[in-house]
Structure 1
Amino acid sequence: MKGLLCITIVLLITLTGRAQTPKQQSLDAYIDHLFKNKKMMGNVEISFKDSIIYAKSVGFSNVTTAEENNKNTKFRVGSLTKTYTAVLVLKAIEEGQLQLNDKLSSFYLYVKNAEKITIEQLLKHWTGIYNYTEIADEDLWEQKFHTEEEFINYLINEKSNFEPGTKYEYSNTNYAFLGFILQKIYNKPFAEILKEKICCPLYLKNTYFSVETDRTKNEALSYNIQDRYIVNAKVNFSVHFANGGIASTAIEVDNFLTPLFNGKLISAKSLEMMLPKNKGEYGMGIEKLPFDNPQGYTHNGRIENYFSEYWYFPKEKLGIVTLLNATNIYTSDIQTLLLQYAYGNKYEIPNSNQTDEILEKDFKQIKGTYFEKDKKAFFTISSDGKNMVFQASDAGQMFVRLEYEGNNIFEYEDMELQFFPSIKEAILTQGNIIKKYKKLSKQ
């Protein structure tokens, strides 16, 4: 982000429908390069005022059938959903259905500290309620439909992390509860509330909540990137509805943000309450970007291997959205690229055959896919142009950047990887576990 601090405020006035400019062609080449080098699949979009100044789709919504992503492809937006949920809560407050100081105990008496936790603290993650997505078996539990009662029972015995109101700690459970509360006060499912309060007024036809991915609606499947794309295990979004389950397009995410920040969805007073004041701070479903010039707001998300992020700059009326269904680079890197484009700044296409730490010829000997002897477990090593990137084969596995320690040894937290290029092998050490892997010969 450091390079953004001295950006000058001179936006490109590039309107949809004109012939492509050299800068557009350059950005197209960059995004295409990322796809061809298996760094991302998905959609990106930039808006200025009321116009789309750039939009592009790359990759496949379904790899098996070679169906390509397009401008109407829907992606699960993950935790971007929290911005929508926060808006719904603030609208309920404007309608007199809720108050910020209402207690969780009015709806859920037996949740730990419910009598101390307010709606405002739920919105701002100041509750201490345990994050249910960190429960050990949650990755299996989330694959089946669960009722509200089952959700509460799943969580009820988990500890409280701190006294409500004493500090901030992000917890998906907070927004799940807000979704349940909305359903109670309106006596309607979350999907209907979303449609009635946000989608219909804004004419959003491609934004909705449903419990399962539906390919008949042009919804993208999500993938893990290895030497090939591996489709993820199916999540049932019944347990992620108000905190991570909305489906939308990149264009319609922006078509939600623009009216939100321009007073057409909630009042100016409600928007002011929603927005955090300090850099990097979390408000109500929105975080402030960690740089000053330009000043903007953000939220990112991940569910399965759908990755998402938006940036919005109210003063400039500039919106940037990235929705991905496969990636092993950070969405913030793509967002930075799109912001540089919007401001007419130069950027270079990264070299996916090198890292900052080792020579290109040495990295080429290391990169690739490595299998255990039984070939059931494997991982892929790639580069984002600066760092070595590791991603294991398990469906939904997060990619990580490795730190170089010398002598072909790389580390991430308690994991160590040592490569032996001459014999095409690698040894992975994690705690007391030591595993040997063999590099796939043909790639």
Structure 2
Amino acid sequence: MGGCNYSTNNFLVLFNMVYNFYCSKTVVHLGMAALGSVWLTACSSLLKDHDISQDSRSRVQKAVDSVRTALEKDLGNSVPSLNLYVQTPTQAIFTSSVPAGATPFTENTNFRFASNTKTFTSTALLKMHQDGWLDFKAKIADNIPGTNISYVPNTAEWDFPFKNEITIEQLMQHSAGVYDVDNDPVPGFNGLSYTAYVQNADPDHQFTTEEMVLQLAKNKLSYFAPTTDYHYSNTGYSILGYIIARVYSLKSGGIKTYENYLQDHIVGPGTKVPLALRFPVRADDTVLPAPRAEGVERTPDGKTIVFGNYNMSAQIAEGNGYGTPAALNTFIRKLMRGEHVLTPETVKLMQTDVNLKSGNQYALGCFFTPNLGFGHNGERCGTLSLAMYDPTTGVSVVAFITLVDNSNVTNDENSTFYKSFNAIYGAAYGGRAALGYPGRP
């Protein structure tokens, strides 16, 4: 089993290329959607057992099939699967496109949804803010409300650049300038990121936020001063996961983890909207349960890696989530409608336009894409995914492909990685268009 680190930097470059393309066209749309959309209420319940016409299902299946087969032709190689869950105000449809002879996935197939986890992290922080447990506008060096304990330790190991100026909100927006030791090279690790180097040497290593932050402090690593620019940072979200665990531990009077809070307050059996989603934090919690979708990665040196069980302890709060397309769809749909744990007012905070000098439109753990709405995407272990809700039409989509093709990587649209990444958007837009909703702009 190989590592998940081959394509991460390519993902960030191409993610920003696609993301900035859409955002540059839709700054006004973002503000209007966040502040002026009327939440659809009629016919809004989950329609798992709704009578779906065979024609609708066939049209969605044909749209997803066409994207997968076109990608196969473009790559000159097979595409293991392309999958879409689409829900409108009147119907919910799941389709799985696979090569002839392969078994399609179902809406209850588990897959790693990677950086879609960041929306859960933001939801957790805003729920804590809503409950008065923290202030998301506070600096991370400030004290947790009602205590004399700071959000992060005031120790030499945590003395990284600009720490005393950074706020929780800036970390959520990727505007804090925190260097990403999960994606970018760190001095002393042979040109690799810290997490890639360590996990390659020891696949069972138990990662901690403290050891990753220590690299920032030791090497004085930073991208820029807070709010002066935008740079996507997994490490910034790792720090947010640490804050969630630290605040929850204080509130509960015992040691709690990031996943403990999510299970107890966001998605677990006792929560408002129980969902079978997991966010493993231990190095030995590696099993992706059946039925499961195993991602495939093609490397520049011609190798093919199939990912099964995997140590996700380096990705806590930024990319460690997994679950089913049905459950992820329910989460993003109900969250963005103000029907989950966040009030409609707090959801509007989450969707706020950032308006940085850099032109960044990344809000609080989510972003806006024309004709798809609010949500996130992700890449991890040979799987690319997307989860979005469009408040204008009431349509939600979850798309994922079990292929990350790095056989010919460039920083433009000719990249095999970009073509794999673009396919999840093609499926999402194609499925919407098949049901009579606006597709790709």
Q: Into which bin does the TM-score normalised by the smaller protein fall?
A: 0.5 to 0.7
Distance 1:58 1:191, change over 3 A: farther
Distance 1:81 1:59 in 2: 29
Structure having the larger proportion of residues in helix: 2
Question: Structure 1: which 5+ residue stretches go unaligned?
Answer: 6-12, 347-443
Asked if 1:299 corresponds to 2:376, the answer is yes
The verdict on how the C-alpha distance between 1:139 and 1:271 changes in structure 2, with shifts beyond 3 A counting, is same
| Residue aligning to 2:349 | 273
1:46 matches 2:86: yes
Cross-structure match for 1:334: 424
For 2:260 and 2:96, how far apart are their aligned partners in 1?
30
How do residues 197-346 of structure 1 correspond to structure 2 at under 5 angstroms? 197-200=265-268, 201=271, 203-210=273-280, 211=282, 212-225=285-298, 229-232=304-307, 235-265=310-340, 266-277=342-353, 281-289=361-369, 291=370, 294=371, 296-328=373-405, 329-344=419-434
Q: Say which SS state the counterpart of residue 54 (structure 2) adopts.
A: coil
> What residue in structure 2 maps to residue 108 of structure 1?
153
SS of 1:152's equivalent? helix
Q: State whether residues 94 and 106 of structure 2, in contact with CA within 8 Å, keep that contact through their aligned partners in structure 1.
A: no
Shift of 1:303: 1.6
Q: Which has the larger radius of gyration?
A: 1
- Higher relative contact order (Cα pairs below 8 Å, separated by 6+ residues): 2
Gaps of at least 5 residues in structure 2 are 1-17, 26-46, 142-149, 186-191, 250-255, 406-418, 437-441
What's the CA shift for 1:123? 0.9
1:319-398 to 2 correspondences below 5 Å: 319-328=396-405, 329-344=419-434
Q: Partner of 2:164: helix, strand, or coil?
A: coil
C-alpha distance 41-344 of structure 1, shift in aligned 2 (>3 A): closer
Count of aligned positions:
331
How much has 1:152 moved relative to structure 2? 2.9
Distance (Å, rounded) in 2 between the aligned partners of 1:236 and 1:332: 27
Seen in structure 2, the aligned counterparts of structure 1 residues 103 and 32 have a Cα distance that, compared at 3 Å, is: closer
Secondary structure of residue in 2 paired with 1:254: helix
Q: Which residue of 1 aligns with 2:413?
A: none
| Structure-2 residue corresponding to 1:193 | 261
Between the aligned residues of both structures, percent identity stands at 24
What SS does the corresponding residue of 1:76 show, helix, strand or coil? strand
Equivalent position to 1:118, from 163, 167, 170: 167
Could you tell me how far 1:295 is from its partner in structure 2?
6.6
Q: 1:91 aligns with which of 118, 122, 127?
A: 127
In the alignment, the residues of structure 2 paired with residue 327 and residue 165 of structure 1 have an alpha-carbon distance, to the nearest angstrom, of 32
The CA distance in 2 between the partners of 1:34 and 1:197, in whole Å, is 42
State the 1:171 CA deviation. 0.8
> Which of 18, 25, 37 does residue 53 from structure 2 map onto?
18
* Partner residue in 2 for 1:78: 114
Structure ranking higher in strand proportion = 1
The answer to whether the aligner puts 1:165 opposite 2:227 as a matched pair is yes
TM-score (norm 1): 0.66
With structure 2 as the length reference, what TM-score do the two structures score?
0.66
Return closer, same or farther for 1:101/1:151 CA change in 2, 3 Å cut-off.
same
Partners of 1:16 and 1:53 within 8 A in 2: no
Change (3 A) 1:304 1:26: closer
Shift of 1:45: 1.0
Report the Cα offset of residue 114 of structure 1. 1.5
Of the candidates 192, 208, 212, which is equivalent to residue 147 of structure 1? 208
Q: Secondary structure at the match of 1:207?
A: coil
In structure 1, what is the Cα distance between the partners aligned to 2:78 and 2:392? 35
Structure 1 residues 44, 34: closer, same or farther in 2, change over 3 A?
A: farther
Residue deviations 1:158-197 (CA, integer Å, cap 9, x gap): 4122111222211111111110000011012111211122
Change (3 A) 1:268 1:24: closer
Query: Residue 385 of structure 2 aligns to a residue in which SS?
Result: strand
Aligned-partner Cα distance in 1 for 2:276–2:322: 8
Structure 1 pair 28–335 and aligned structure 2 pair: CA distance change class (3 A)? closer
Conservation of the 8 A alpha-carbon contact between 1:104 and 1:114: yes
How many Å apart are 1:250 and its aligned residue?
A: 1.5
Work out the CA distance in 2 between the residues paired with 1:202 and 1:214: 27
